[in-house]
Structure 1
Amino acid sequence: MTYRYTVLGSGRQGVALAFDLAKNGEAELVRVVDSDEKVAERAVRRLKKLTKGTKCRFEAARCDVAKRKHVRAALDGAQVALSAVPYRFNAQLAEWAIESGASFLDLGGNTAVVRKELALHKRAKKAGVSIVPDCGLAPGLGNHLAAHGIASMDTPQHVHVRCGGLPEKPVGPLGYKLVFNFLGLWNEYRGEAEFLRGGKRVRVPTLTELERFESSNFGALEACVTSGGTSTCPQTWEGKLESFDYKTIRYAGHWAQIRTLFELGFMDERFEARDGSEFEPRALTQKLFEEKLAFPDVRDVVLLRVLVRGTHARQPLDLQYDCFDRHDESTGFTAMERTTAFPAALVAHFQARGLIEPGARPLETCVPALQYFDELPRHGITVRLSRSSGV
């Protein structure tokens, strides 16, 4: 059995999604679209070189994802659509996917947008398609691993997710290189996170609750509260778990500097000076980050740890999932591209095979957790699972 997919967006993640679908998603056709047709054509040329020997066909096309007519044309004949465009488009794209009779997933990052997508449940179910938001790395893979741990013990109680995309060594003034879209990073660093504490949902300000994180590869790092990483998990497991939280990992010192930038207003969308003049600090900061924190010669790494604590067979049990990934020199895909796109492509393959029921549901409730974990290594993502008696 072969399947037809459309990838919306031909940037870093879009190309990685298309690659994994062609290699591991039983793809007959992967249509890669972008607002700039030349970008889509360049992506297809690269994909053809990377996937020699596969039977998958690639198509490139222009598509403005803000225009219904464009999106409907891009989804024509596709069984699954994958969004690799900024999160602000995803709710509308999910609606148009339902109209087109295609299942849909995205890489997420904004829980408010996700809830708009989940509100499409009845329409998706009636159309016989599935909508699965937030399928990237964190949220995404981290939530899958949490769901696997929860499904693997009798009485799960606590889940702690820690994740970070880092340069392989500290670089620049922030000890950081920009490994994905600046606006996605800005979105994570601001606002509030939603956690479970004492079995109830709570709001926690970002850039707070700094903690030490020990890595066997990098030693002592720091983790801090950021937004979006828990996605809908606190709502899903409210009253079932005692706690569920998420923090982002960085090299020591990064968070203090980021807090300074926020406090000085460098991350504000708009600022009005005392003389009445107005300007957009964030726009300047974005340009500076993109120019000064690119470090193209420095490879990236991804660290992900998920700890699930509870009891099984009346005995305390800790399940710890560790993923450590590096830039792949053979394909050119970064660690962030690999760990974001490949797990999402696996969800799309589940959708294409009809393993996810029609409707719009959070991934932690609709993706078969045990089967997903079993199939993940086929997509080149290695997760080490450690079991120990809880304390």
Structure 2
Amino acid sequence: MTIERKRIAVLGAGQIGAIIAGMLAQQGHHVTLADASPAQLAQAADGRFATDVVDAADLERLRVFLTARDIVVSACPYFLNKGIARIAVETGTHYFDLTEDVETTAYIKQIGAGTDVALVPQCGLAPGFICILGADMAARFDSVKTIKMRVGALPLYPTNALRYNVTWSVDGLINEYCNPCEIVFDGKPILVPALEGLESVMIDGVAYEAFNTSGGLGTLTETLAGKVRDMSYKTLRYPGHAEIMKLLLRGLELADDKETMRRILSHAAPFTRKDVVVVFVTGIGEKAGRLEEDSMVLRYDGTPTMSAIQLTTAAGCVAMVELFLGGKLPQQGFVRQEDASLTDFLATRAGSRLTSESRGADAARSAYQDTRNAA
């Protein structure tokens, strides 16, 4: 796919932002990685992209910064994205983010009505890649009964009481565990509590638990309204994690004291590169009058230079930027993740890494070939 080189700003020089900046710079774009912390920028700098000290909460400074940019990718905490998106609209800068926050996405959809720029929230893994997989799974059936999506970003070697290590954003994790979760039940979108709906899952001989978390479905409940009877997204963790989190967030009422909860997670579940990401999608529906089931399992391991969650989130986001620049996505207004076809997504330079670097690559390539044949 031949694309025009663009001036791209990446906001947030944390675990994911620096990887996104590197991937985009490697594709030839003029990339500037910005953060409020000079120390964070110094740690992330690698010579492939420029850096600039910009506090995304300072909207006047942000407005000046984005005026000279074609695209902005926000890898900032979700609570900064409303302001960033608003400034992007004002400066005519196409906008991408990694948010899982439902309220933030609803706001971006609202301001996207009638705008000349594209607003593409919820890029990355979940929401993001998982929404493209879910929509593709639904399209494989003549009529859809059930779509289940399960995603886990986990330590390869769990050693603490939480059986978990923070792999990206503590604020995003707490948000997912506290907010109501959208599902489709008996054909109707409904809200269910986070940390509920506990189920046991066995994948490739490893035992997991799965439970409701907020935001993972993205806009799929709206896109597949009236087309699927039951659809859910749940987070995968090692058994026992949900009960501990329920004790902390509900029993000790730390859902109302997020600063204390943030300190606990930062202390008890430190970041690790020794992680694994597991993606499981299954669908049940009718094909040619017969009830059938189809499934896909993908697994990604971290490397000495990049964790699995860094790879999957950054590649998912950069693939959407590639699709936009290649004319494979709407060029203005609010853009859903499932506006991208799986075929196009996996054909991008970044998206292809989600097949080539997965233990389930054969399954992903098979899905890719299936969509090409169907086309």
Same fold judged by TM-score > 0.5? yes
CA distance in 1, matches of 2:282, 2:220: 14
Note the alpha carbon deviations across 1:126-145, whole angstroms, 9 max, x for none: x2x21111112111111111
Match of 1:335 in 2: 308
Match of 2:208 in 1: 221
Match of 1:242 in 2: 229
CA contact 1:186–1:267 (8 Å) conserved in 2: no
Cα shift at 1:311:
2.7
CA contact 1:98–1:123 (8 Å) conserved in 2: no
Match of 1:264 in 2: 251
CA distance in 2, matches of 1:352, 1:112: 27
Match of 1:275 in 2: none
CA contact 1:199–1:238 (8 Å) conserved in 2: yes
Cα shift at 1:102:
1.8
1:27 partner SS: coil
CA contact 1:166–1:302 (8 Å) conserved in 2: yes
Cα shift at 1:113:
0.8
Residues 327 and 378 of structure 1: CA distance in aligned 2, closer, same or farther (over 3 Å):
closer
1:65 partner SS: coil
Cα shift at 1:381:
4.9
Q: TM-score, normalized by length of structure 1?
A: 0.85
Select which of 77, 98, 112 maps to 1:121: 112
Match of 1:274 in 2: none
**Aligned counterparts, 1:142-181, within 5 A:** 142-181=130-169
CA contact 2:277–2:309 (8 Å) conserved in 1: yes
Select which of 168, 182, 186 maps to 1:194: 182
Match of 1:310 in 2: 285
Cα shift at 1:365:
4.4
CA distance in 1, matches of 2:83, 2:120: 14
Select which of 89, 94, 99 maps to 2:90: 99
CA contact 2:182–2:192 (8 Å) conserved in 1: yes
Q: Partner amino acid for 1:160?
A: K
Match of 2:41 in 1: 40
Match of 1:360 in 2: 333
Match of 1:54 in 2: none
Match of 1:286 in 2: 262
Q: Partner amino acid for 1:42?
A: Q
CA distance in 2, matches of 1:341, 1:356: 18
Instruction: Give the unaligned 5+ runs of structure 2.
Output: 368-375
CA contact 1:306–1:320 (8 Å) conserved in 2: yes
Q: Partner amino acid for 1:195?
A: I
Q: Which has the larger radius of gyration?
A: 1
Q: Partner amino acid for 1:38?
A: A
Note the alpha carbon deviations across 1:45-96, whole angstroms, 9 max, x for none: 2xx3xxxxxxxx5111011112233222332343221100011121221121
CA distance in 1, matches of 2:337, 2:292: 21
CA distance in 2, matches of 1:359, 1:243: 31
Select which of 186, 192, 204 maps to 1:204: 192
Q: Partner amino acid for 2:209?
A: E
CA contact 2:9–2:66 (8 Å) conserved in 1: yes
Q: Partner amino acid for 1:104?
A: Y
Match of 1:63 in 2: 54
Q: TM-score, normalized by length of structure 2?
A: 0.88
1:343 partner SS: helix
Cα shift at 1:295:
5.9
1:75 partner SS: helix
Matched, 1:369 2:342: yes
Cα shift at 1:212:
0.7
Q: Partner amino acid for 1:322?
A: V
Match of 1:9 in 2: 12
2:277 partner SS: strand
Cα shift at 1:14:
0.3
CA distance in 1, matches of 2:259, 2:341: 41
CA contact 1:80–1:351 (8 Å) conserved in 2: no
Note the alpha carbon deviations across 1:175-229, whole angstroms, 9 max, x for none: 111112211111111131110011101111111111111121x522111111111
CA distance in 1, matches of 2:343, 2:186: 27
Note the alpha carbon deviations across 1:266-312, whole angstroms, 9 max, x for none: 5233xxxxxxxxxxx4322321221221164x711111111122233
Q: Partner amino acid for 1:97?
A: A
Q: Partner amino acid for 1:292?
A: A
CA distance in 1, matches of 2:23, 2:289: 41
Aligned residue pair count: 357
- Percent sequence identity is 27
Residues 288 and 265 of structure 1: CA distance in aligned 2, closer, same or farther (over 3 Å):
same
Q: Partner amino acid for 2:248?
A: L
Instruction: Say what the alpha-carbon RMSD is for the aligned residues.
Output: 2.1
Match of 1:28 in 2: 29
CA distance in 1, matches of 2:276, 2:192: 27
CA distance in 2, matches of 1:282, 1:119: 28
